[in-house]
Structure 1
């Protein structure tokens, strides 16, 4: 395991911060390029909730990504970002897609001029219809659908879900005439995140395109857009393998070819991406504050663990709660037992040493400084000998990391979030 930057950068930053995230733009750009090369005919939407750091958001949107927004705040942040980078290529309503359950009237009124609103329930469709009637306007909306399909299952095996309108219920809505001020012009589906099985993704896409054909037959016109959702995961462990983008793209191209033959070439095909580009770009770095031995066990006390980067602590909690060697994922909080790798950078050293790779290693517990016994990120882990001032580095911290961590707990100082630009400059 290597880090993609000079270790002196970490030493320099640790002179100013006891804990910090470091996001590497080069890694983000490499991942963006991989998607672009594999799917030249597909539009990508960045899921802002995965990492809304302004520099990360700017990098994603300035390289052609649209926006998957999960709140009015994310809608407005994306709109401001497009304005700041001077991107006026298309209206925001054509590239910001607001999809979330439980939108308030305030949310809907605040977003409708600068985002495509994706209705999440029959009740929300009625509320949007009421707003459109008050304005005496015809409004185009998308709809999130909960398909009659499960990943790895078969058609007709859909599960209950808090997200979207059940597929069979949606067709009943299309048959009604209860929304004269609305035009349903797009669909959005998302069933699972962090998928590495290419065949499962292909089968999922196959079903969605078939469903889109049936919806288009019901409305009598091609959809303006089909959002296939996310699902393309990243490798967290050395055993994980990347999704085969070329194979997935090849299957997708067949659907695009068929749609073109059927006069549906103008439909925009979209894929959401949250962790794929920034996930591997992030590193969480926290300083050793103390070491102590209690009844034969060595504890390395770190500056900020559970409150700074909660997900490694959740892995430890799962280990204590089950003996299952492969417990089911609960995304995005829990991906697996070996989701994160730990490295050490000792004061004065240039070499970053992975856990288990040091000749002077010792078995320790890595714990945080919070006044709670659950503030543990690794138990009985083999680490190099560590002293106060040394650094512990955690991988895979670029997405669903800082944004999900309980940083207000105990009124501790929040970790800094640092952006290492492609040209080597440091931005906060």
Structure 2
């Protein structure tokens, strides 16, 4: 890490592609045989990461034309992508269909009609999953995505009355359902409770189920130490609930899928930053880094500011400090009152588990600072060195 920081400067993201492959294989092993796995490209659209996942059998879940381009660059076939999101525009539907995307998640009747109209203009039929927002949820941990009013999904209690209209939208064919109940489940039992809720709800929908996406919720730390969760009983318990409620699943009716972003890629990434200054102010210590929310702002930008864990090569006494970046705003805070080694200007610090929600989920263009360099390595060898750039262009 020190050599890479000297060579390419800081802030610097380093992605270990071997770690991506390990997480991919671990998740496939934890799921029942035959499950398909969508990678949520929003977590990290880096093409080298995409190539590892696509080569290992993952499909891509996307929600913009930019993510579609990233998925293609990462080796994913557009025909195998799932296009999601509550605000699909005419332009992006046109681009997605022209590229070969044929599966969409519909968030409402109007969204389904929107998809169908675009598909008809392309002389094709879009295969659509209905995203379902259940009236209740099984667990209270993680970030809730169902069981409350939301822009995501069709309220489950309205489905019986809507089904005739949903099933007759020109340009579409309903092939199944899409659920996403939560993110980052607190425990394996909480995750299993969510999946039981999803499977029982899906079995009672009263609609054709050729394909069922039961969502994600797999847990991994973000910008702090630790390892992704391991799911020792997920396969056997998920098989049992599917045998009970959807007994045709072993013969492929329905085909089943999960999706994951952070769990697959968080552990592959480290952020390297330099200490610019250490300031004492009214009894508090502020460690000022050359990396702020413009570099590591993703989840804080979503109202989820989490303390980061800093690792410094070598031994040292610990102290309590607030970690801040170089931006001219008091909001540029990465961690408040966290334990850090004794730090001096010029020290190199490492923030672990930031392979997900790194540069592209941050305030990259704020204050005009350059984006961080991103280095992808595999088996100790550098695979690529890149930097994102924003340019102002003329629009006719």
Shorter-chain TM-score bucket reads 0.7 to 0.9
Q: Distance in 1 between matches of 2:338 and 2:249?
A: 58
For residue 181 of structure 2, the aligned residue among 191, 206, 224 is 191
- Deviation, structure 1 residue 16: 2.5
- 2:147 is the counterpart of 1:158: yes
Q: CA deviation at 1:239?
A: 10
Taking the aligned partners of 2:292 and 2:224, their CA distance within structure 1 comes to 23
Q: Larger radius of gyration, structure 1 or 2?
A: 1
- The change in CA–CA distance for 1:264 and 1:174 in structure 2 (over 3 A counts) is farther
Counterpart-to-counterpart distance in 1, 2:57 and 2:293:
35
Distance 2:191 2:271 in 1: 30
Distance between the aligned counterparts of 2:344 and 2:124, measured in 1?
A: 66
Tell me, yes or no, if the aligned pair for 2:223 and 2:351 is still in contact at 8 Å: no
Query: Which of 1, 16, 35 is residue 8 of structure 2 equivalent to?
Result: 16
Deviation at 1:365, TM superposition (A): 3.6
**Residue 18 (structure 2) aligned to one of 18, 26, 39:** 26
Distance apart, 1:45 and its partner CA:
0.5
CA deviation vs aligned residue, 1:170-201 (integer Å, no higher than 9, x gap): 33222336424421002111121011322222
Distance 1:169 1:149 in 2: 14
Q: Secondary structure at the match of 1:373?
A: coil
Structure 1 Cα separation of the partners of residues 182 and 263 of structure 2: 14
Within 5 Å, which residues of 2 pair with 1:13-412?
13-39=5-31, 40-82=33-75, 92-93=78-79, 95-112=80-97, 113-134=100-121, 137-152=124-139, 158-176=147-165, 178-215=168-205, 218-219=206-207, 221=208, 223-235=209-221, 243-258=229-244, 259-261=246-248, 265-294=252-281, 297-310=284-297, 314=300, 333-334=303-304, 337-338=306-307, 340-345=308-313, 351=314, 353=315, 358-359=316-317, 361-412=318-369
Query: How far apart, CA to CA, are the structure 2 residues paired with 1:233 and 1:425?
Result: 28
Measure the CA separation in 2 of the matches of 1:180 and 1:25. 43
Q: Distance in 1 between matches of 2:47 and 2:123?
A: 37
**If the length of structure 2 is used for normalisation, what is the TM-score?**
0.84
CA distance change for structure 1 residues 426 and 289 in 2, over 3 Å: closer, same or farther?
A: farther
Q: Match for residue 87 of structure 1?
A: none
Instruction: Name 1:348's counterpart in structure 2.
Output: none
Moved more, 125-134 or 268-277: 125-134
Distance 1:282 1:131, change over 3 A: closer
Cα RMSD (Å): 2.9
Alignment CA distance shift 1:272-1:204 (3 Å): same
For structure 1, which runs of at least 5 residues remain unmatched after alignment?
1-8, 84-90, 315-330, 346-350
Deviation larger for 51-60 or 106-115: 106-115
Structure 1 residue matching 2:232: 3-state secondary structure? helix
* Cross-structure match for 1:328: none
- SS of the residue corresponding to residue 246 of structure 1 reads coil
Cα displacement (A) at 1:389: 2.2
**1:81 CA displacement:** 2.9
